[in-house]
Amino acid sequence: MTGTGTETGTALGYEQARDELIEVVRRLEAGGTTLEESLALWERGEELAKVCRHWLEGARARLDAALAESEDEADQQV
């Protein structure tokens, strides 16, 4: 597991972060890790969830902007 904080956000795409987050959750659910390993996995999962949220919020903003633009164009044609 590499990268933390802002570095993680810029280094990972949405799909990469999502796939790694799925793996982190799988490992936590499987158990068999030490407390220290579990904490490290949980912290990494939190970082990855933030990366995913960032990408999804950006996608939502782009969709909202595109919808607003198309509504403005439709209003101008009426």
Report the C-alpha gap between 39 and 68 in whole angstroms: 43
Which has more confidence, 75 or 69?
69
Across 49-59, average pLDDT: 97
What's the pLDDT tens digit per position in 5-24?
445 445 899 999 999 999 99
| Whether the Cβ atoms of residue 27 and residue 41 lie closer than 8 Å to each other | yes
Report the pLDDT value the prediction gives residue 72, as an integer from 0 to 100: 80
Among 13-17, 31-35, 67-71, whose mean pLDDT is lowest?
A: 67-71
Confidence (pTM): 0.74
Domain extents for the chain? 13-77
Report the C-alpha gap between 12 and 42 in whole angstroms: 18
CATH of 13-77, one of 2.60.120, 1.20.950, 1.10.357, 1.10.287: 1.10.287
* Cβ neighbour number for residue 61 with a 10 Å cutoff: 10
